[in-house]
Amino acid sequence: MRSVGPATFAPGYGSVSPRTPWGKMVTIIYALIGIPLMLLYLSATGDVLARSFRRLYGKMCGSSPQKLQCPCSNPVRVPVTLCLVIVLAYICSGAVLFHRLENWSLLEGSYFCFTSLGTIGFGDLLPGQKAEDVSLCACSAYILTGMALVAMCFSLVQDEVLNLLRYIGATCSRNDMKAKEDENAMQGS
pTM (2 d.p.) = 0.70
Q: Which bin fits 130, alpha (ψ -120 to 50), beta or left (φ > 0)? A: alpha
Cβ atoms of 137 and 29 closer than 8 Å: no
Cβ atoms of 179 and 76 closer than 8 Å: no
pLDDT (0 to 100) of residue 91: 94
CA distance 98 to 128: 10
CA distance 165 to 170: 8
Lowest mean pLDDT among 4-13, 36-45, 63-72, 137-146: 4-13
Decide if pLDDT at 2 tops 50.
Answer: no
For the chain, how are helix, strand and coil distributed in percent, rounded to 5? 75, 0, 25
What structural domains does the chain harbor? 14-188 (1.10.287.70)
pLDDT (0 to 100) of residue 69: 52
Decide if pLDDT at 24 tops 70.
Answer: yes
pLDDT (0 to 100) of residue 17: 77
